Amino acid sequence: MKSRAVQITRYFFYLLAALWLVVGINYLGQSDGQMIYNVIAGLMFASIFVFIALGANITRKPVYWVGVIFLAICIVLVIFDQFGLADLVALILFIVPLVIMLAKRKEFIAA
């Protein structure tokens, strides 16, 4: 049985993947056919696969550290963007799993 911290973190990674799916579809809807919007939406869709892969394999040591780095990068990108309510929600969704992962590191690596 996986620890509760691992399960909660997995759920957050899957929730983040769903969030990026919604944001990516919304972003494509506003694109007006411009290539830059399509590229940015493509990056959003790529992050969906990254979050799903991280959530599924989070107990492997290299994947754990990639997850920590990926979440930290996402937090920095959210902070230095135009900050609004949606960014605050995203920031919380990025911070919670990162804090759990760092606080309960041994449960992830030993699981």
Encode pLDDT of 56-81 as tens digits. 999 898 999 999 999 999 999 999 87
Q: Which two tokens stand for residue 53?
A: 């892969």
Spans of the chain below 50 pLDDT? 1
Note the pTM of the prediction, 2 decimals: 0.88
pLDDT score, position 28: 86
Residue 1 near residue 7, CB atoms below 8 Å? no
Structure tokens at 111: 């699981």
